[in-house]
Structure 1
């Protein structure tokens, strides 16, 4: 079943909507809780919490779990989110693949399909294959209502217009308004985001439950290079939504030309595409590179990876000096280089960033068992739903 609704409201309704959103977000951080806990955590009065919970129960988004023991020994009725009642389609478009997955409102994945795509087949054909995957995913969903879709793409992405500005190594996508066409095709709200920004949001979402402040940067170093910047839980986008396009930041004004029209762009030196080119393995798989690195059989491979890591670290120096983050996460394909990537980037940062800044900066590798940007595609849609819960979750309204 597919459901879509529009938002309407007055000032009073806006306040009620913000309160609903607050309560759902608080419950997301707790597996089971009581109404009294929500009253204390939210700052709302008891009657308001009671009314909101009763409303959410009637919508099917909250269920009672039975009697639980409180902190002071008082017993109460436990409540929790019934997240699987509402489903999200998450879509990740990459230069060589498309992945579509089904999630619930807590970002838990239920199923996934992944296909390779090729520039030679054209963007229109690849887009049609994406739509086929989405149809299959919707048909296969047997529990809950599909209420929205989230799409993440390489950039530059003009988010407000729903279109890609440039996808290096795969022309044609800039002529397709992905957001508009998917909305028309499936009659669902569609939210589109730059892949690195979505990855950053996903890391923040599933990070420490008490983390509300700070600056975190997620670096997607794959076939291209981009960064997602989260400030106090909000994605920093800039005036056109292009903030974090570090892959097209020039580090050598006399360097090789880039498809964007610039010279010496960072991704020409430290993307996995650049790494394969350095090794004269443009048509080889990255798995063979990582295998050589792991087995330490080829010093040329190790040096090429170290060089890519050095350039990435050098590019991050400017970002660190600009945003003063407390945490940087290295993700996407290049992160599979593991300790060599981490240690090289860290050494460059320590050498070129003020000690007082670098000493307080945490540098991490993203988990290699989760496609953070795919998860982020769902989180982008979920965040929009949680901002307007009555527009998406009140199926009786």
Structure 2
């Protein structure tokens, strides 16, 4: 039997919320604008824009800036988003650390703190330390109010259930519903996302030049390997929220056993954890590996990084053929290999992808001065708030 899903209608309240969200998104990309600009950019009529802006002003999210010059010498009252009163706590859980930062609704970072965690201490102790860091960050907030928490984790992640399915090298997290636990403790909306998906969303929101359309893939090659896929500004998550879990894509069915139960998983060949295992007699830390690579001595470290980069590129061939992206961003710890990583991955793609495809594909390194997955933790929450602004902002009006 074929069961069809009935498409639900859209009521007036939904339309109004969609229009608010659209206006906030348009203003987010502009430092200062006018109501007339928003009318033209949105396609909404002038009275609708006026009503929405008046609402947002009453909520404290929009402020007037004074007279500005418009097109053809016309003058109008400037408006801009006032994001400082609304704060978000972003949390990044990794296998060896927890990082917590405070952001406003525009994604501006105010404070950041990090602690180390260890497998031997167990997941419950790590969760307790995470809560302590979040509490400290909320307490340190000097202006406005924290209205949401965003958490990003390694995967595989059952996003719809709020829990990690498997964290390789750090068991125990699969029994914890992180999302529900934090919501119960702090009493504010909490969102959870796979770290690579959050990193992808951060690049889409904050990256330059700003991308409006297309398919962008952010590859987080660190202690594990994952990918975030963004299509026209929306993260592709799949049925259970696990889309992009490329670290557990097998590239050798006769390869070594992975903790997920499969063999030859990609992250066994090109994660930084795998890289350090390969170099365990020569290098005890990634810093030592990167130093040797940067010095260009051509030793075992350089060869091991080149090999890991080749495997990553080989895995990305499958991703390119599946999703046909126009942009791939290489991020997380392995991106510190710089040009060696980029050139190796590009070479593999050029050799194994159709020339007409690889020739139109931009491959680049993530900026090395930020942590997009940490920023993405906040942006995951911000994205949800912007999608339903009245549910969050009206109750916190200044």
Q: Do the structures match in fold with TM over 0.5? A: yes
Q: Distance in 2 between matches of 1:203 and 1:17?
A: 25
Which residue matches 1:368? 368
Q: Which residue of 1 aligns with 2:317?
A: 317
* Counterpart Cα distance in 2 of 1:188 and 1:390: 15
* 1:73 equivalenced with 2:73 (yes/no): yes
Offset of 1:207 from its aligned partner? 3.0
Contact 1:276 1:282 in 2 (8 A): no
Moved over 2 A (4+): 207-212
* Pairing 1:100-119 to 2, within 5 Å after superposition: 100-119=100-119
Whether contact under 8 Å (2:216, 2:325) holds in the other structure is yes
Other-structure match for 2:139: 139
1:84 match? 84
Task: Give the aligned partner of residue 7 of structure 1.
Answer: none
Q: Aligned pair 1:343/2:343, yes or no?
A: yes
Cα distance in 2 between the residues matched to 1:233 and 1:298 = 41
Segments of 5+ residues of structure 1 without an aligned counterpart are 1-9
For residue 161 of structure 1, report the CA deviation from its aligned partner.
Answer: 0.3
1:265 paired with 2:265, answer yes
Instruction: Give the CA deviation at 1:209.
Output: 6.7
Q: Distance in 2 between matches of 1:264 and 1:313?
A: 15
| Contact 1:273-1:282 within 8 A present in 2 as well | no
The aligned counterpart of 1:173 is 173
Q: Tell me the distance in 1 between the aligned counterparts of 2:88 and 2:369.
A: 21
Alignment of 1:1-397 (within 5 A): 11-208=11-208, 211-280=211-280, 284-297=284-297, 299-395=299-395
CA deviations 1:202-261 (Å, max 9, x no partner) are: 111123576321011000000000001111111111111111111001111111100000
Displacement, 1:283? 7.8
Q: Structure 1 316/285 Cα, relative in aligned 2: closer, same or farther at 3 Å? A: same
Q: CA separation in 2, counterparts of 1:330 and 1:181?
A: 32
Q: TM-score, normalised by structure 2?
A: 0.96
Shift of 1:395: 2.8
Alignment root-mean-square deviation, CA: 1.3
Measure, in 2, the Cα distance between the counterparts of 1:282 and 1:334: 18
**Deviation, structure 1 residue 120:** 0.7
Cα displacement (A) at 1:201: 0.6
- Secondary structure at 1:92 match in 2: strand
Tell me how far apart the structure 2 counterparts of residues 237 and 58 of structure 1 sit (CA, whole Å).
Answer: 35
Tell me the CA shift for residue 16 of structure 1: 1.1
Q: Deviations over 1:40-74 (max 9, x none)?
A: 11111111111111111111000001111112111
What is the alpha-carbon distance in structure 2 between the residues aligned to residue 243 and residue 15 of structure 1?
29
- Matches of 1:281 and 1:329, distance apart in 2: 31
- Which 10-residue stretch deviates more, 339-348 or 198-207? 198-207
| Corresponding residue pairs, total | 388
Deviation at 1:297, TM superposition (A): 3.3
Native 8 Å contact 1:35 1:49 kept in 2: yes
Question: What CA distance in whole angstroms lies between the structure 2 residues aligned with 1:178 and 1:153?
Answer: 10
Deviation at 1:396, TM superposition (A): 6.1
Cα distance between partner residues in 1 of 2:282 and 2:91: 26
Distance 1:342 1:281 in 2: 26
How far apart are 1:298 and its partner, in Å? 5.2
